[in-house]
Amino acid sequence: MDQPDAQTSSPAPNKRLHHLLFEWGIILLVALVVSIGLRTFALQTFYIPSGSMEPTLMVGDRIIVNKLSVDWGTIHRGDILVFKSPPTENCGGTPVVDLVKRVIGLPGDKLASVGNSIYVNGAKLNENWPHTEPLGNPIATLANPIVVAPHHYFMMGDNHADSCDSRMWGTITRSDIIGKAFLRVWPVTRIGSL
């Protein structure tokens, strides 16, 4: 005589819902930890509040900064860095916590300017990135150049005449650097690498 097949009992709907909620909770927790880890140690977005980096970065642009490129990489002349605002920064306007500028001088460099030209170690700097002239505030004279100290960097905005930068408040230390800007992500029409 045939016996009826035993029915497999499915978990109670309440138990399935708890299991599903637990799985989603774990997924969200892992995503949150990864997101915080990336922001703390690897990548961070920044908003551009002023025109000091025009035409490269416009007011309202959003950029992504790679923090690891400074910790494990090297800094080159021409890199765009985000760094903590120097305590001596007093250029008027609203105080800001972080600044974004371009590296002009590396440790050991001798910097000066004549007219609208910048000189590094006695040679005219080829600014092969977008920038505006006139230079505005001079850097120093060729006879008495600024010498960048070890582990320090001389920073300038691409909008030379409208930038409060190392010409006013001096060099920044490597420990104040947050990271290198490498990507503009907003507005959509201006997405691109830096």
Q: Which residue type is seen at 101?
A: K
Task: Break the chain down into helix, strand, coil percent, rounded to 5.
Answer: 25, 30, 45
- Two tokens, residue 176: 């104040």
Helix (H) or strand (E) holding 71: helix 68-71
Residue in the structure block whose two tokens are 């230390």: 173
Write down the catalytic residue from 67, 101, 163, 166. Answer: 101
Q: Is 101 a catalytic residue?
A: yes
- Give the integer Cα–Cα distance in Å for 161 and 147: 22
Please say if 52 is a catalytic residue.
yes
Active-site choice (52, 69, 113, 166): 52
* DSSP type of residue 132: B
- Enumerate the active-site residues: 52, 101
